[in-house]
Amino acid sequence: MKNLFDQTRIKGTMLDNRFVRAATWERMAEEDGTVNDRLIEVYEDLAKGGVGLIITGYAFIMDDEQPNPKMMGMSNDSFIPGNAKLVKKVHEHGSKIVMQLAYGGSQTRYQTEDRVIFAPSAIRHPRTDVMPKEMTQEDINMVVKAFAKAAQRAKTAGYDGVELHGAHGYLLSQFLSPEFNKRTDKYGGSLSNRMRIICEIYEETRALVGEEFLIMIKINASDFADEGFTFKECQLTCQELASLGFDAIEISGKTPPETKKNTESVLADYAKVIAEQINIPVILVGMNRTPETLHNILNQTHIEYFSMSRPFIAEPALVNRWKVDHKTAKCISCGQCYHPEGISCVLK
């Protein structure tokens, strides 16, 4: 029987347990994206608290593309020293850490008047009202290289890997979605065309970082939208990305519309199917709250890891607590974590 506290490996990276801190925008970096002592303390507390694998808040990959204030940056070499200090603190406590890399695209309201915002197609975003620029081949090549160079910097800083943010409506997610991708060239139309930019980023990145450095991706189980990325397309995409060489896939997305109130691990049924179809680890995120539930999923499916965000805001030492106390996470999913001065829990 598998245990939540098993030592496991993702490729050559040894993890002390199956718990993952999901990428969380802390809003605590300096305005320019530089890591500071306050942010380092957040990650050191997670490592002290027993998290096996930490995924950072998303980091911007281009100097002029920052979708949110006070998020981490990895768009140039000036960010390496601060991140190296952060990674060192995490490793001192036995945790592993990967940096999430993202291009926000039109799903942003932050300083949009001061910059060109790329998207697969020139479609006004229905929630932000941002009208982006449809990317040319040159633009796509530039973004692909920016992802790869950011990953190379992350490796230089000592990270164990990177995670591409291919979910939640950001640029890579928009390429996958027929709702936002109306292109008629080799990056639009068929699913294989819509995932092409992700494949190119992987290949460009792998060439720079080598085989042992982890390259993961976060992807929506479905957009749960009439014209959006479907669960069937997610399955086919995950199969292709696993074959290409990605090291792990985190299944994420909105809460499915059929979900009943107070349901835990809301994407488990979707992640379960994908985990049966691919030969790399699947990480489940979304309302993971109770060890007993996670233990049952672990032993009844092929899902290998469980990531959480808000529970670790409420309890950075949650994993250590769960070693002796199996009560449900303190987090009540109230969604009041975010404040202009940075994330914090109202229950503390």
What tens digit of pLDDT does each residue of 272-281 get? 999 999 999 9
Would 77 be classed as within a structural domain?
A: yes
Sign of CA dihedral 143, 33, 159, 267: negative
pLDDT exceeding 90 applies to what percent of the chain? Answer: 95
pLDDT-derived band of residue 347, with 50, 70 and 90 as boundaries? Answer: confident
**Residue 286 near residue 256 (C-beta atoms within 8 A):** no
Cα separation, 161 vs 20, whole angstroms: 14
Residue 328 in domain? no
Pairing status of strand 161-166 against strand 133-134: unpaired
Q: Residue 333 domain-assigned?
A: no
Question: Total domain count for the chain?
Answer: 1
* Amino acid in position 31: E
Active-site pick, 43, 170, 202, 270: 170
Q: Count Cβ atoms below 10 Å from residue 14 Cβ, excluding itself.
A: 12
Euclidean distance between CA atoms 47 and 173, whole angstroms: 30
The pLDDT value recorded for residue 345 is 94
Q: Which residue has the higher pLDDT, 234 or 261?
A: 234
**Distance (Å, rounded) from C-alpha 283 to C-alpha 290?**
16
Q: Categorize the per-residue pLDDT at 348 as very low, low, confident or very high, splitting at 50, 70 and 90.
A: confident
With bands split at pLDDT 50, 70 and 90, how would you rate the model's confidence at 69?
Answer: very high
Query: Would 132 be classed as within a structural domain?
Result: yes
pTM: 0.98
- In which domain, by residue range, is 107 found? 8-322
Is residue 80 scored above 90 in pLDDT? yes
Q: 103 an active-site residue?
A: no
Residue 54 counted as domain residue: yes
Q: Give the residue carrying structure tokens 């997305």.
A: 253
Let me know if residue 197 belongs to a domain: yes
User: Is residue 1 assigned to a domain?
Assistant: no
Does residue 338 register a pLDDT over 90? no
**Tens digits of per-residue pLDDT, 193-245?**
999 999 999 999 999 999 999 999 999 999 999 999 999 999 999 999 999 99
* Residues linked to residue 38 through DSSP beta bridges, in sequence order: none
Cβ contact 306:283 at 8 Å: yes
207 CB-near residues (< 8 Å, 6+ apart): 148
Cα(164)–Cα(150) distance, rounded to whole angstroms?
Answer: 11
Cα–Cα nearest to 142, from 200, 181, 100, 190: 200
- The whole-chain average pLDDT of the chain stands at 97
CATH number for position 254? 3.20.20.70
Residue 42 falls within a domain, yes or no? Answer: yes
